[in-house]
Amino acid sequence: MSVHPIEDRYGRPVVRRIFEEEFKLQKVLDVEAALARAHAAVGNIPKKAADVISEKANTRYIKVARVKDIESEIHHDVMAVVKALSEQCGDAGKYVHLGATSNDITDTALALQFREYIRFLEEDLTHMKKVLLKQAAEHKHMVCIGRTHAQHSIPTTYGLKYAIYACEIQRHIDRIRECKERILVGQMTGAVGTQAAFREKGIKIQELVMKDLKIGSVLVSNQVIQRDRHAEFLLDLALIAETLNKIATEIRNLQRTEIGEVSEGFKEKQVGSSTMPHKRNPIYAERVCGLSRVIKANAIVSLDNISLWHERDLTNSSPERIIIPEACILTDYILNVSIDLINNLVYDYKAIERNLNMSGGLVMAESLMITLVEKGMGRQEAHELLRTIAMESHDKEKPFRDLLLKNKEIGKYLKEKEIDAALLPKNYIGTAVEQVEKVLKEIG
């Protein structure tokens, strides 16, 4: 029976397996094998012994159940793996884990897990960017009302909304690429970082192990790889989650009954409420928003893991067993939910047009102001004049256009057809289309 929702509800099996016990054990065994081969390469142990350790360092021989049995007796997880591997290696077992401390193995193994995970993360982010760019291209001419402070402001386009999101996702792709050189690293530095147990060959052994495993190497360390690296990665995941939160929040707001411009796709047999048969709730967008909070919270915990006592303590270990799998699995999950969400959005074009014109032209006051300035009126004078007319239109519920046409001061500068042109939303979207096209060209 599962306890945590990521076990059966909020996670893709292909990503979840990276953090399951058997996969993690295999990565630990991979590091132990690489260490044995490095010792053989520098002449510390016989090559035949390294060959035996390499062969047996596999979950075909070393079972999770056996490791757990040993751990239940000795209460040390890494030593349990060492013992389980040693007992399979015969005489070569005496060379297993030679000179290493636990975190030489587990931190390096974690880098191998991260490497596997980041492949999926980069795929997800690239897919998400493509989905957003597709929406941007398809809707670059779709004029809608812009909102600032949740109030109608001036026209914008749906294409520009999506282009902005796509650029944000591109920045996340850039961050992950930059972060890889700092997070995909291992160490063989011993109990406090001096490599004393490896004698004078410590630097070479570390170099050989990481080359073997095809990951980077720390320059210096103490007993653990410094946790600013891990915190950076979890903060990057939190940033990704908050972008998805932002997009999902916008969709939720646009799906409000009073707005109704965009909504989630709703399946034929989908149920919106256990009591209200009419409901069509934005459940996927809400799920993204909700789970983003967990990812963000995990990033905060990772910051606390940086300040370990002296050369290390264990306060990072227990939370990392929770926060790293959670943050990684949930980020992948909400990315894939968001991809499906964006792909299946439903647009109500009548509602978009209705909301655009809801104010009776008041949202075009800035357009009129700029037009007046172009005709020779001072900017401040034009602003105050239109502010006064707009307030009168709002307070007395008089048509904005009528008040504009009646105003003698405006009549000195603008003819009726010029006023009407300035009141058309499609005439006041600036370079929105060109900006979208630039984004499509530069990051598409």
Mean pLDDT of 178-207: 97
Contacts of 160 (CB under 8 A, 6+ apart): 136, 140, 432, 435, 436
Higher pLDDT, 267 or 334: 334
Contact between 327 and 237 under an 8 Å Cβ cutoff? The reply is yes
Model confidence band, residue 265 (pLDDT cutoffs 50, 70, 90): confident
Indicate whether 266 pLDDT > 70.
no
Tell me the pLDDT tens digit for each residue of 290-334: 999 999 999 999 999 999 999 999 999 999 999 999 999 999 999
Mean pLDDT value across the chain:
95
Model confidence band, residue 271 (pLDDT cutoffs 50, 70, 90): low
Domain count, the chain: 2
Q: Which residue has the tokens 């005496």?
A: 94
* 273 has catalytic annotation: yes
Q: Is position 72 within any domain?
A: yes
pLDDT of residue 350: 97
The catalytically annotated residue of 141, 273, 307, 394 is 273
pLDDT of residue 12: 95
Q: Is position 409 within any domain?
A: yes
Model confidence band, residue 6 (pLDDT cutoffs 50, 70, 90): confident
Q: Is position 233 within any domain?
A: no
Tell me the pLDDT tens digit for each residue of 359-399: 999 999 999 999 999 999 999 999 999 999 999 999 999 99
Indicate whether 273 pLDDT > 60.
no
Indicate whether 27 pLDDT > 80.
yes
Output the pTM of the full model: 0.94
pLDDT of residue 281: 80
Structural domain ending residue among the three candidates 98, 125, 142: 98
pLDDT of residue 7: 84
* 149 has catalytic annotation: yes
Lowest-confidence pick of 52-61, 174-183, 256-265: 256-265
pLDDT of residue 3: 82
Looking up residue 42, the CATH number of its domain turns out to be: 1.10.275.10
pLDDT of residue 5: 87
Structural domain ending residue among the three candidates 98, 121, 140: 98
Q: Is position 130 within any domain?
A: no
d(CA 250, CA 189): 48
Indicate whether 280 pLDDT > 80.
no
Q: Is position 320 within any domain?
A: no
Structural domain ending residue among the three candidates 49, 83, 98: 98
Q: Per residue, what are the HEC states of the chain?
A: CCCCHHHCCCCCHHHHHHHCHHHHHHHHHHHHHHHHHHHHHCCCCCHHHHHHHHHHCCCCCCCHHHHHHHHHHHCCHHHHHHHHHHCCCHHHHHHCCCCCCHHHHHHHHHHHHHHHHHHHHHHHHHHHHHHHHHHHHHCCCCEEEEEECCEEEEEEEHHHHHHHHHHHHHHHHHHHHHHHHHHCEECCCCCCCCCHHHHHHHHHHHHHHHHHHCCEECCCCCCCCCCHHHHHHHHHHHHHHHHHHHHHHHHHHHCCCCCCCEECCCCCCCCCCCCCCCCCCCHHHHHHHHHHHHHHHHHHHHHHCCCCCCCCCCCCHHHHHHHHHHHHHHHHHHHHHHHHHHHCCEECHHHHHHHHCCCCCHHHHHHHHHHHHHCCCCHHHHHHHHHHHHHHHHHHCCCHHHHHHHCHHHHCCCCHHHHHHHCCHHHCCCCHHHHHHHHHHHHC
Looking up residue 410, the CATH number of its domain turns out to be: 1.10.40.30
Tell me the pLDDT tens digit for each residue of 85-107: 999 999 999 999 999 999 999 99
Model confidence band, residue 274 (pLDDT cutoffs 50, 70, 90): low
Q: Is position 218 within any domain?
A: no
What percent of the chain is modeled with pLDDT above 70?
A: 97
Mean pLDDT of 171-181: 97
Q: Is position 384 within any domain?
A: yes
pLDDT of residue 24: 98
Q: Is position 429 within any domain?
A: no
What percent of the chain is modeled with pLDDT above 90?
A: 93
pLDDT of residue 275: 56
The catalytically annotated residue of 149, 274, 278, 318 is 149
Structural domain for 416, as ranges: 362-422
Indicate whether 270 pLDDT > 70.
no
Mean pLDDT of 3-14: 90
pLDDT of residue 330: 98
pLDDT of residue 70: 97
pLDDT of residue 190: 96
